[in-house]
Chains A and B, each alone.
Chain A
């Protein structure tokens, strides 16, 4: 019995390791490829015969006017406002839906859920026209502004579910102490929401980093480009410098990966602490 169990555990480990490796192989290869000379790029091997840094140094100095540092600064600045807007307003809106009684609450909540299914193509053209009318095309406003309107239906829904899990006794105890609904939100709900807000922040960050469609649409002058748009500029060159392109692409996912792994720890800790508190 015991022996067969350890055999099956071993089989599981073998299978899962092989499968993980298969899933990750393109990414691992990518890391090696970014250090390869062009001739070696076609090989499936990971480590180059003679690693070169040239892909990074040449790729980083992307154009005569700007280095990649400029474009990272642009993207991070945009991300700062997106995350701020998403975290603040989604919490506010979710509190309204989860805790307050008001007319048509259920109706508006259903509408909110329905908007998750709405294809963005139906609204994108008039939105573009609207921003164009106000002279806001080729600025970050069209990319940032939506995050200040509740941060997206998905996040509001997520936070509503989370708030419903917070015992109402806490609210009511505060109410007896004379706190208003605003006070309850600021002093009780918002602090307790922290782990869920970390999730909102992570995904807002990663999704807006990857929101290529919006960036292509709204940013046209090079000095305002995001990292993604510069990569696209590389792709559109007549003869693609694959080594540099792969190196810079790899760098471009680093912020998302860091955010994910750093925040994931807080996220898990957050759940653990509130689990104990609740």
Chain B
């Protein structure tokens, strides 16, 4: 089609368009198009959220009707349940170590990969590969084998005269192995950083070099501030995701040894689907939601001190 002609037609049609903007017809059409999501949202999100809030004040085992117990579940969780405290401590430890580690690592690798070198695509694919398969049960199986007492990791350490432990069977190191596994899968975080790095205008670096800025000052004065919105995005999603880590602790350690890797999501799963304490587990879910909401809010509040948005016009949206 002739490009100019269609542009002209488009311009004339814009005049007509004003008139029936927001007419009933497009209203209906709009809702017809978003209907699949909207129905799913009401059916599988809104209703369950309301339901789980109600259930968190009941005792319910699936077999009999829910029995209202008031705030008893919450009181038991906060004041009596040792496992709750343990799993919360484990989960916070996991988040505190794995989120910054992953951010740092993926930023470094993204900067490394943000160069014009021949064969770069190959390196990118190789480094991204573990993340592609990372969430699968298969990788958890691999990890469990590698880090077991007679796994090959210990064999390699033996060459350096280090007497390896049973990394997974030792309460001191089990959580560390899971953090390492999580860090190994930094690929999607890295891809987002990489996209952010490509957005930074090169002339900023050039004029900084002219002014005599070294590699470190260029990193801290240009890269980091320009990348801060992306960093923020990765931080928020990283915290939310890490709080819900499940597969690895379920397959590799089953929460053990002595509950040293008993992640919150695993605890909740056990309560709901092993012990069938649906009310109690719903209360746990709401506590998780509250924790995540508070941490996300804190992240947003602090973001104004360190996240730098380039355009003040606020075109983003």
B-binding residues in A (CB < 8 A): 9, 12-13, 15-17, 19-20, 23-24, 26-27, 29-30, 33, 41-44, 89, 92-93, 95-97, 100-103, 105, 108, 111-112, 115, 117-130, 132, 145-146, 148-150, 156, 168-170, 172-173, 175-176, 181-182, 185, 206-207, 209-210, 212-213, 216-217, 228, 231-232, 234-235, 242, 245-246, 249-250, 252-253, 256-257, 260
7 additional A-B residue pairs with CB within 8 Å, beyond A44-B153, A149-B44: A26-B146, A102-B22, A123-B45, A124-B48, A126-B49, A231-B141, A246-B142
- Chain A residues whose C-beta falls within 8 Å of the C-beta of B244 in the assembled complex: 119-121
Encode contact with A along B1-21: 1 for CB under 8 Å, 0 otherwise: 100001101101110010001
Quick check: B17 and A172 within 8 Å, CB to CB? yes
- Chain B residues whose C-beta falls within 8 Å of the C-beta of A126 in the assembled complex: 47-49, 51-52, 55, 282
- Chain B residues whose C-beta falls within 8 Å of the C-beta of A29 in the assembled complex: 146, 152
A and B contact pairs by CB, cutoff 8 A, 17 listed: A24-B126, A93-B37, A118-B289, A122-B286, A125-B285, A127-B44, A130-B47, A150-B37, A173-B13, A176-B9, A207-B135, A212-B136, A212-B251, A231-B138, A245-B141, A249-B138, A253-B133
- Chain A residues whose C-beta falls within 8 Å of the C-beta of B258 in the assembled complex: none
Number of A-B residue pairs with CB-CB distance less than 8 Å in the complex they form: 257
Main secondary structure of the interface of B (DSSP, over half): helix
Quick check: B136 and A123 within 8 Å, CB to CB? no
With A101-B22, A105-B30 as given contacts, are A20 and B123 in contact (CB-CB < 8 Å)?
A: yes
From the candidates A108, A118, A169, name the one contacting B38 in the complex (CB within 8 A).
A108
Is B112 part of the binding interface, using a Cβ–Cβ cutoff of 8 Å?
yes
Quick check: B34 and A108 within 8 Å, CB to CB? yes
Is B117 part of the binding interface, using a Cβ–Cβ cutoff of 8 Å?
yes
From the candidates B41, B47, B126, name the one contacting A23 in the complex (CB within 8 A).
B126
- Chain A residues whose C-beta falls within 8 Å of the C-beta of B212 in the assembled complex: none
Is B129 part of the binding interface, using a Cβ–Cβ cutoff of 8 Å?
yes
Quick check: A101 and B155 within 8 Å, CB to CB? no
Quick check: A168 and B10 within 8 Å, CB to CB? yes
Quick check: A119 and B129 within 8 Å, CB to CB? no
Residue of B29, B47, B144 most packed against chain A (CB within 10 A): B29
- Chain A residues whose C-beta falls within 8 Å of the C-beta of B17 in the assembled complex: 172
The 9 closest A-B pairs by CB, nearest first: A149-B40, A102-B30, A96-B33, A150-B37, A249-B138, A126-B48, A126-B51, A20-B126, A169-B10
From the candidates A119, A124, A169, name the one contacting B6 in the complex (CB within 8 A).
A169
Is B206 part of the binding interface, using a Cβ–Cβ cutoff of 8 Å?
no
Bound-state Cα–Cα, A38 to B172, Å:
28
Bound-state Cα–Cα, A182 to B236, Å:
37
Bound-state Cα–Cα, A237 to B12, Å:
71
Is B69 part of the binding interface, using a Cβ–Cβ cutoff of 8 Å?
no
Q: Which residue of A is nearest B293, CB measured?
A: A117
- Chain B residues whose C-beta falls within 8 Å of the C-beta of A253 in the assembled complex: 133, 136, 138-139
Is B31 part of the binding interface, using a Cβ–Cβ cutoff of 8 Å?
yes
Is B294 part of the binding interface, using a Cβ–Cβ cutoff of 8 Å?
no
Bound-state Cα–Cα, A12 to B119, Å:
11
Of the candidate stretches B192-200, B215-223, B265-273, B304-312, the one touching chain A is B265-273
Q: Which residue of B is nearest A106, CB measured?
A: B317
From the candidates B34, B109, B142, B236, name the one contacting A26 in the complex (CB within 8 A).
B142
Main secondary structure of the interface of A (DSSP, over half): helix
How many whole Å from B7's CB to the nearest CB in chain A?
6
With A93-B34, A123-B48, A249-B137 as given contacts, are A23 and B29 in contact (CB-CB < 8 Å)?
A: no
Quick check: B13 and A172 within 8 Å, CB to CB? yes
- Chain B residues whose C-beta falls within 8 Å of the C-beta of A96 in the assembled complex: 29-34
How many whole Å from B51's CB to the nearest CB in chain A?
4
How many whole Å from A230's CB to the nearest CB in chain B?
10
Is B247 part of the binding interface, using a Cβ–Cβ cutoff of 8 Å?
yes
Encode contact with A along B104-142: 1 for CB under 8 Å, 0 otherwise: 000001001101010100110011011011011111011
With A42-B152, A93-B37, A122-B52 as given contacts, are A252 and B136 in contact (CB-CB < 8 Å)?
A: yes
Quick check: A89 and B13 within 8 Å, CB to CB? no
How many whole Å from A176's CB to the nearest CB in chain B?
5
Q: Which residue of B is nearest A209, CB measured?
A: B136
Bound-state Cα–Cα, A85 to B116, Å:
39
With A44-B152, A102-B27 as given contacts, are A176 and B22 in contact (CB-CB < 8 Å)?
A: no
How many whole Å from A193's CB to the nearest CB in chain B?
14
Bound-state Cα–Cα, A105 to B34, Å:
10
With A29-B152, A119-B244, A181-B29 as given contacts, are A246 and B130 in contact (CB-CB < 8 Å)?
A: no
Quick check: B156 and A44 within 8 Å, CB to CB? yes
How many whole Å from B11's CB to the nearest CB in chain A?
9
Quick check: B26 and A129 within 8 Å, CB to CB? no
Bound-state Cα–Cα, A246 to B48, Å:
39
Bound-state Cα–Cα, A210 to B247, Å:
9
Encode contact with A along B199-226: 1 for CB under 8 Å, 0 otherwise: 0000000000000000000000000000
From the candidates B31, B52, B130, name the one contacting A102 in the complex (CB within 8 A).
B31
Bound-state Cα–Cα, A47 to B12, Å:
69
Quick check: B36 and A149 within 8 Å, CB to CB? yes
Quick check: B41 and A212 within 8 Å, CB to CB? no
How many whole Å from A95's CB to the nearest CB in chain B?
6
Bound-state Cα–Cα, A256 to B137, Å:
13
- Chain B residues whose C-beta falls within 8 Å of the C-beta of A20 in the assembled complex: 122-123, 126-127
With A169-B7, A260-B132 as given contacts, are A19 and B156 in contact (CB-CB < 8 Å)?
A: no
With A102-B30, A256-B133 as given contacts, are A125 and B13 in contact (CB-CB < 8 Å)?
A: no
Residue of B31, B40, B62, B144 most packed against chain A (CB within 10 A): B40
